[in-house]
Amino acid sequence: MRLFIPTFLICALVVAFGCGESEEADLPRGSTATFVGDEACANCHADIYSSYHETGMGRSVSRFDPATAPEQFNAAGRSPEVCHDASGYCYVAFVRGDTLFQHEFRRDDPEHGRTYAASHVVGSGNATRSYFMVAGALEDALDAGYYTEMPLTWYVERELWDLSPGYEQTNNRFERPIVPECMTCHNGPPEFETGPQNYYTEVPLGITCERCHGPASEHVETQLAGGGVEGEPDPTIVNPARLDAGRQLAVCQQCHLTGVTVFKPGEDPTTFRPGMALSDNRAVFARREQVDDPEAFGISSHALRMMQSVCFTATRGLNDALTCTTCHDPHRSTASMEADHFNTTCRSCHGSEAHMAACARPEVASVEEAMTGNCVSCHMQRSGTSDIPHVLFTDHWIRRTLPPPRPPEDIERGGVRSIPFTLVDVTAREAVLVREDERTQSDAEAEVSEALAYWTFYETEHRLPAYLPGISEHLRRGLAAGVDRPEAHRALGRALAAMDSLRAAEQVLAIGAARWPNDPFLPYELGTVRLRLGDADGAIEPLRSAVVAAPRFTEARLKYAEALAAGGQAEAAIAAYREAARRDPARHPTAWNNLGFHLLRLGRPAVAVDALRQAVVLDPVLAEARANYGAALLAIERLGEATVQFEAALRYRPDYIPALGNLGVIRVQQGRQAEARRLFEHVLRLAPGDRQATTYLNQLNDD
């Protein structure tokens, strides 16, 4: 039995919401202000409140409403079937009452089916609508639980259902975790727990006013009390128009700067406050190709691509530098703007005869005629994106001439590359807009941040071993230089373990776990490495401490159970597996499988059956679960049902010895000796000398 514990233009136009004076508002980072929600803004800013909630940001997360939903279904009220050929799973969406559901099935297994309700719609509906679901909610709070993505997305422009972005490469089914960075970019600041990567206790609906203006409790109190001076800046709230260009850009770059993010010590996606430099909260590393490639761009690459534009580089450092709000009013949807809005913006810089004379349109005979064209269509490419299928998007790299657009279906996604990518710190481009005397990052800290970025990139996007020696070297050097970060110890330990330097990994992780005793990740990694070293007894205590520090950290609880089992503490292991399955019932079929396996080993097949049935429901292609389920059924003499499970296990793993051997046992009991003999002979071809198969064959030959 094997335990499986799996361990996410346009320069000078000055508008009221854009590049105003370079006067800085008081930065709210040291403020005690708290978030109050958008409704508190509505009384004084009714028009802005109303128009903002029609923008994509204001509609970024919502509840499904069948009365206004754009999704389309067939006459039977279902979406077309969408299949992931590599995994064999198929999906349909449908609406029941006021809720959208997604159903999973397999054509090779008519008994398999899982159906879950969507808890939230993710996306404004301008390009896509994807869906969250919540699993394992134990509290009374409506939104508390483990958040994951659902497999189907509605692609608005093409009016079709298809697999969610990234699922064509890897079908995560209903288990892709919604990590805080993802949740926070699509939403107002959520309430989440440290340890589990996707357990939330409160989830807002849409990006809030306070994401751009900062926590507003003090501002609301001041205004309701009649405070403040009319026409003067209010120091209790941030008006991005009064920030310098770098900090103004940072407000947008929270989410519109694509890459691998490494947060500064003590920071996370929710701790950024408007008025900060982005580089005070995080470093963002992007593939060099993503920055420089004239054709390929991602759907959230707006800031990165804009910074390639001459319009940006020519105005950088000026009071009227190009920023996102030079062209975009964040309080109004693009659809509500005047038809000539963007052209007017362009003319504010490019309205002179010299500019118009440079226009490449051959039919242009005068300045006036040149100014009648669509600047955006000529100077900003609209094309398919490198990361999201079925959508056309506007590349924000403003250029005189454009490459030809590429339809979404012509773009290859998720390809394999045999040489490493080069990552560049794109936050450094923003940092040049921040005064030199405010930059505090040392060379050693920068080296560690870069190594952490490469480690994350290795783990999540490009699992190429060639990255590992450089990662470990830079992390060692940074730690030796005095950089004191738990995630550096963790990444170094994991990188060393990935290179099979387990003793070195153990030493690094043990130092880190002792240095940060309340961190759940370091003891989790330490226990994992000790299990790989065969030291189950040494793994138990660090894994127990990880569970104590973060009770909803399911992966730590499962690894703890594995260590208990390996250390001979079967009853304690069963209790740990049972608790993991109770808390997080839908994401970890291996929890149910291992629970059932150990119950079966202790001679409790009737109890094991229920746990193993649940494992098969969650993962019907997990041969271990099928074989264990069959063994439990066999032990309680339900031979027909056991046969179904062993045959299913062999359908997915034709040479799986436990299924072959147990099916042979059933054939013996059924008097089908010839079939039994073939099965046992097959086992011996796979495992010469297998004692059980040899014993049964000898008995058959004696008969």
Q: What letter does residue 556 receive in the DSSP assignment?
A: H
88 and 133, same structural domain?
A: yes
Alpha helices in 129-226 (DSSP H): 180-185, 210-213, 217-224
N- to C-terminal Cα separation, the chain:
31
201 and 284, same structural domain?
A: no
375 and 284, same structural domain?
A: yes
Domain interval for residue 367: 239-411+420-432
Res. 364 pLDDT band, cuts 50 70 90: low
Structure tokens at 598: 């150990």
Q: Check if the beta carbon of residue 536 is closer than 8 Å to that of residue 510.
A: no
In-domain check, residue 102: yes
Q: In this predicted structure, what is the pLDDT of residue 1?
A: 32
369 and 253, same structural domain?
A: yes
Count how many domains the chain has.
Answer: 3
189 and 250, same structural domain?
A: no
Angle of helix 502-515 relative to helix 486-498, nearest 10 degrees, comes to 170
66 and 188, same structural domain?
A: yes
290-to-619, 630, 687 alpha-carbon distances in Å: 36, 50, 50
In-domain check, residue 466: no
In-domain check, residue 394: yes
In-domain check, residue 296: yes
Please provide the size of the chain in residues.
Answer: 703
- Going edge to edge, which strands form the sheet with 423-425? 260-263, 282-287, 423-425
Q: In this predicted structure, what is the pLDDT of residue 543?
A: 98
Give me the mean pLDDT over the 190-206 stretch.
Answer: 89
What is the distance between the alpha carbons of residues 42 and 38, in angstroms, rounded to a whole number? 7
DSSP element (H, E) containing 599:
helix 589-601
Spacing of C-alpha 593 from chain mean position = 26
To the nearest whole percent, how much of the chain has pLDDT over 70?
88
What is the distance between the alpha carbons of residues 444 and 479, in angstroms, rounded to a whole number? 8
Q: What number of other Cβ atoms are within 10 A of residue 361's Cβ?
A: 12
Task: Kindly report the average pLDDT of the chain as a whole number.
Answer: 87
Q: Quick check: 326 pLDDT over 80?
A: yes
- Which of 609, 519, 598 is closest to 558 using CA atoms? 598
Domain at 634, CATH number: 1.25.40.10
Q: What is the pLDDT of residues 392-402, one digit of tens each?
A: 888 899 988 88
Q: Check if the beta carbon of residue 206 is closer than 8 Å to that of residue 55.
A: no
Instruction: Select from 432, 463, 496 the last residue of a domain.
Output: 432
Q: What is the pLDDT of residues 491-511, one digit of tens each?
A: 999 999 999 999 999 999 999
279 and 134, same structural domain?
A: no
What is the distance between the alpha carbons of residues 332 and 256, in angstroms, rounded to a whole number? 18
- Which of 252, 235, 264 is closest to 33 using CA atoms? 235
Q: In this predicted structure, what is the pLDDT of residue 639?
A: 95
Spell out the residues 6+ positions from residue 540 whose beta carbon is closer than 8 angstroms to its own: 527, 560, 563, 564, 567, 569
Q: Which residues of 609-631 are buried (b: 16+ CB within 10 A; e: fewer)?
A: bebbbbbbbbbbbbbbbbbbbbb
Q: What letter does residue 162 receive in the DSSP assignment?
A: E
Q: What is the pLDDT of residues 87-113, one digit of tens each?
A: 999 999 999 999 999 999 999 999 999
Structure tokens at 168: 């064509």
Q: What is the pLDDT of residues 207-260, one digit of tens each?
A: 999 999 999 999 999 888 887 777 788 889 999 988 988 888 899 998 888 889
More confident residue, 347 or 352: 347
265 and 407, same structural domain?
A: yes
DSSP element (H, E) containing 62:
strand 61-62
- Which of 67, 66, 64, 35 is closest to 219 using CA atoms? 35
Q: In this predicted structure, what is the pLDDT of residue 650?
A: 97
| CA angle 388–390–393, rounded 5-degree value | 70
Q: What is the DSSP string of 264-326?
A: PTT--TTT--BTB-GGGTEEEEEEHHHHH-SS---TT-HHHHHTTSHHHHTTTTSTT---GGG
Q: Check if the beta carbon of residue 261 is closer than 8 Å to that of residue 452.
A: no
Q: What is the DSSP string of 323-372?
A: -GGGT--TTS-GGGS-TTHHHHHHHHHH-SHHHHHT---TT--SHHHHTT
SS3 of 103, please?
Answer: strand
What is the distance between the alpha carbons of residues 222 and 216, in angstroms, rounded to a whole number? 10
Alpha helices in 382-520 (DSSP H): 427-431, 443-460, 468-480, 486-498, 502-515
In-domain check, residue 101: yes
Q: Quick check: 435 pLDDT over 50?
A: no
243 and 200, same structural domain?
A: no
Q: Check if the beta carbon of residue 313 is closer than 8 Å to that of residue 254.
A: no
143 and 88, same structural domain?
A: yes
Q: What letter does residue 467 receive in the DSSP assignment?
A: G
Spacing of C-alpha 66 from chain mean position = 27
In-domain check, residue 504: no
Q: In this predicted structure, what is the pLDDT of residue 487?
A: 96
Q: In this predicted structure, what is the pLDDT of residue 22?
A: 38
Q: Quick check: 163 pLDDT over 80?
A: yes
Residue whose entry in the numeric block shows the structure tokens 């279906």? 409
Give the least confident one: 103-112, 133-142, 275-284: 133-142
178 and 288, same structural domain?
A: no
Q: Quick check: 18 pLDDT over 70?
A: no
What is the distance between the alpha carbons of residues 277 and 246, in angstroms, rounded to a whole number? 7
- Which of 564, 485, 490, 566 is closest to 524 using CA atoms? 490
Structure tokens at 286: 């992007």
Instruction: Select from 165, 183, 206 the last residue of a domain.
Output: 206
What is the distance between the alpha carbons of residues 2 and 656, in angstroms, rounded to a whole number? 12
In-domain check, residue 166: yes
Strands of 65-188 (E only): list them. 82-84, 89-96, 99-106, 109-117, 120-122, 128-135, 145-149, 152-155, 160-163, 176-177
SS3 of 132, please?
Answer: strand
Q: In this predicted structure, what is the pLDDT of residue 391?
A: 87
SS3 of 534, please?
Answer: coil
Instruction: Select from 187, 206, 225 the last residue of a domain.
Output: 206
What is the distance between the alpha carbons of residues 430 and 452, in angstroms, rounded to a whole number? 20
Give me the mean pLDDT over the 284-298 stretch.
Answer: 83
Res. 159 pLDDT band, cuts 50 70 90: very high
Give me the mean pLDDT over the 257-267 stretch.
Answer: 91
In-domain check, residue 571: no
250 and 163, same structural domain?
A: no
Q: Quick check: 17 pLDDT over 70?
A: no
Structure tokens at 646: 């062993």
